Amino acid sequence: MDKAFFLNDPDSPKPQWVSSKTPIDYEAAHRFMADEVVKIAAGQACERIWLLEHPPLYTAGISAKPADLIDAERFSVYKTDRGGQYTYHGPGQRVVYVMLDLNRRKKDVRAFVAALEAWIIEALWRFNIEGHIREGRVGVWVERKDKGLSPPPEDKIAALGIKLRHWVSFHGMSLNVEPDLTHFSGIVPCGITDHGVTSLVDLGLPVTMDEVDYALKLSFVEQFGAVETIDGDFRP
């Protein structure tokens, strides 16, 4: 797919790039996104990319299966309207909520998801990590060549789940930087039992969240166009 497919019109307002420095309550984040979607669609708010962390929790997408919730008492569980199944969010994981207006870009859901995947993969390349998309497995995966097996097993490093309303996206993706990977054991992540999860630190890369955010921003600009960075601690 052409990298320019979803580039913003240079004469249009730039998406705001904001980040929260302390964990954000999931329900508060969801309420904010739902309100923003309406405003963005009506031309009353700018597009927004929101980087944050959540306290430890599980979310159930619209395809979640009850049997995939292994330990319902471990953390709070939230039903949500994004695509996908169960996933985990928590400290050490960079969550990125993507509120982009496809009315002003391209009304092509599959191409949009592919562009989001390409964004994550290109950000990983900046740390010399090769990410992969696999048929039938949502998210971004890495081959664990360090385990010395042939073929190498694959672990998920980033999850993806979006929702469109009035052709404005919300929800987004989560990239494992340094979360507690044992927290994933309370669910079957994304309904997949034959593969594990990993993180940048688990792969031997002791990167900071700031370094990850910088890589994400550079790669986002290539896929979607320039942003307006809003400094400070963003609170919904």
Question: 43-66, pLDDT tens digit by residue?
Answer: 999 999 999 999 999 999 888 899
Q: Report the distance separating Cα 38 and Cα 76, nearest Å.
A: 27
| 93 has pLDDT over 80 | yes
Beta bridge mates, 162: 171
Q: What is the pTM of this model?
A: 0.93
Domains of the chain: 3-229 (3.30.930.10)
Q: Which tokens sit at 137? A: 């497995």
| 3 has pLDDT over 70 | no
Q: How many CA atoms lie within 13 A of 83 on its CB side?
A: 16
Q: What phi-psi label fits residue 121: left (phi over 0), alpha (psi between -120 and 50 degrees) or beta?
A: alpha
Active site residues: 190
Question: 7-44, pLDDT tens digit by residue?
Answer: 777 778 899 999 999 999 999 999 999 999 999 999 99
Question: 178-217, pLDDT tens digit by residue?
Answer: 999 999 999 987 666 677 899 999 999 999 999 999 999 9
